[in-house]
């Protein structure tokens, strides 16, 4: 009970200290989502038709992901998620990588907004269902993971800058340890997102594929 109380106190203090950063990071991500959704209007008819043909092929071939060869897409998904989190972690350590962290976050939001916006615009209510089946499940874990590691990276970078300006280096080891621990939490959430993407989403997509064919 004592440890639980310490953990709750730590989490409350952490949220109080980083509430502004969480608001900023979430806002930036949502701006990326909005721009991604609006970018669809810039596509011409031929580009939309090409994207839709790729979508149809993806839905028709989704059964392949349910075979024993599914290890390959799992490795690809894990690699993508882990590389993104690791890159953000490294950029946070470098301090000067702060602008790149913001660019990565905005880009992830843009990609999500573009994907969901395209599905909804081209398929209407079917696109909403397909988005819920294919896009939503892994992002329940992946989006919070990105937000958590981005906040941790920005917070760590700012803490390093403040310590250098004050000519103090005390507690740097503990700061790195706490920062890395937060990144590991994001990695675990990225793992969950990959497992859902590879093993759960194909089932949902197969259940809804009858809407399209």
Write the pLDDT tens digit of every residue in 154-180: 999 988 887 776 655 556 777 888 899
Band of residue 195 on the pLDDT scale cut at 50, 70, 90: very high
Band of residue 71 on the pLDDT scale cut at 50, 70, 90: low
Task: Say what the pTM is.
Answer: 0.86
User: Greatest CA separation found in the chain?
Assistant: 66
Q: What is the pLDDT of residue 65?
A: 47
Task: Map out the domains of the chain as residue ranges.
Answer: 2-211
Task: Return the closest-CA partner of residue 127 out of 36, 43, 56.
Answer: 56
- Residue 171's SS3 state is coil
Q: What is the pLDDT of residue 47?
A: 77
What's the half-sphere exposure (Cβ side, CA atoms, 13 Å) at 2? 0
For 122-137, the pLDDT digits (tens) are 888 888 998 898 899 9
Buried b / exposed e over 95-128, threshold 16 CB at 10 Å, is: eebbeebbebbbebbbebbbbbbbbbebbeeebe
- Residue 85's SS3 state is helix
Query: Which residue carries 């909005």 as its tokens?
Result: 34
Task: Return the closest-CA partner of residue 90 out of 32, 144, 157.
Answer: 157
């Amino acid at each position: 009970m004592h440890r639980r109380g310490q953990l709750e106190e730590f989490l409350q203090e952490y949220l109080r200290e980083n509430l502004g950063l969480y608001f900023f990071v979430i806002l930036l991500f949502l701006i990326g989502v909005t721009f991604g959704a609006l970018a669809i209007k810039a596509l011409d008819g031929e580009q939309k038709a090409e994207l839709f043909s790729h979508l149809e092929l993806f839905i028709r071939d989704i059964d392949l992901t349910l075979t024993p060869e599914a290890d390959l897409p799992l490795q690809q998904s894990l690699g993508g998620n882990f590389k993104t989190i690791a890159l953000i972690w490294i950029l946070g350590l470098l301090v000067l990588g702060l602008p790149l962290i913001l660019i990565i976050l905005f880009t992830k939001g843009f990609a999500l907004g573009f994907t969901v916006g395209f599905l909804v615009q081209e398929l209407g209510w079917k696109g909403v269902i397909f988005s819920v089946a294919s896009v939503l499940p892994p992002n329940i874990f992946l989006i919070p993971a990105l937000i958590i590691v981005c906040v941790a990276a920005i917070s760590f970078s700012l803490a390093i800058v403040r310590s250098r300006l004050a000519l103090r280096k005390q507690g740097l080891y503990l700061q790195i340890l706490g920062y890395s621990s937060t990144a590991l939490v994001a990695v675990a959430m990225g793992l969950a997102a990959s497992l859902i993407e590879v093993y759960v989403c194909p089932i949902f997509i197969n259940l809804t594929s009858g809407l399209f064919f």
